[in-house]
Amino acid sequence: MNLDEAQRKRVAEWIEQGLKVAEIQNKLASELAVNMTYMDVRFLIDDLKLRPKDIEPAVPATMATAKPAAAAPANAPAGAPLAAAPEKKAPAGGVSVTVDQIARPGAMVSGRVTFSDGQGGDWLIDQMGRPGLVPDQQGYRPSQPDILDFQQKLQDELARLGF
């Protein structure tokens, strides 16, 4: 489809605003009455030598340096716990969350958490969507602000990973 110069400038403005291809496709239809497929819009952007802006999410420092938990040794009994990654202290006054590359058996997703007081534990979300926390120190209960911070950081991290 051929667009006139004014329409091409409009598409360039939308790219500068950071709109995604699908959003540009919708705006072409609604504002300029030009119906195009998603692929046609991609070709149009390429033909105009424009480049959509990729907004990269900020990677939390804990995830950038996190190492996945090691798997249980091959000769370990079936119920043996997984070897944990070396404990990292949370930044002063903060909670850090990591996500395992391979979830623990019986879990959809799992990982480690270190609370602001330095205590840590393994967390998981089971196949029914129920959360669980296994603290390193038996009987440990994190503070309410730490729990809220953990829930928010876990939600953000899982969303970033596509869960």
Residue 52 lies in a domain: no
Which stretch of DSSP H or E encloses residue 109?
strand 107-114
Is residue 137 one of the residues assigned to a domain?
A: yes
**Would you state the pLDDT for residue 122?**
94
Q: Are residues 14 and 78 in the same domain?
A: no
Does 103 fall in a domain?
A: yes
- pLDDT for 64: 42
Q: H-type helices in the chain, by residue range?
A: 5-16, 21-32, 38-47, 61-65, 144-160
Question: Exposed/middle/buried for 12, CB within 10 Å: 0-12, 13-18, 19+?
Answer: middle
Is the residue at 53 inside a domain?
A: no
My answer on whether 93 and 154 are in the same domain is yes
Q: Is the pLDDT of residue 76 over 70?
A: no
Given CA atoms 22, 24, 28, 29 in this order, what sign does their dihedral have?
positive
Report pLDDT for 92: 53
Q: Rounded to a whole number, what is the distance in angstroms from the first to the last CA of the chain?
A: 38
- One domain for residues 65 and 95: yes
Assess whether 43 and 77 both reside in one domain: no
Tell me whether residue 55 is in a domain.
no
Question: Do 76 and 38 belong together in one domain?
Answer: no
- How many domains does the chain divide into? 2
How far, in Å, CA of 145 to CA of 124, rounded?
20
pLDDT at 69 over 80: no
Cα–Cα distance, 163 to 44 (Å, whole number): 32
Q: Looking at the domain assignment, is residue 142 inside a domain?
A: yes
Q: Is the pLDDT of residue 111 over 90?
A: yes
Residue 43 is predicted with a pLDDT of 85
Q: pLDDT-derived band of residue 75, with 50, 70 and 90 as boundaries?
A: very low
Residues 88 and 42 reside in one and the same domain: no
Structure confidence by residue, pLDDT tens digits, 126-152: 988 898 999 999 999 999 999 899 999
Residue 39: give the domain boundaries: 5-47
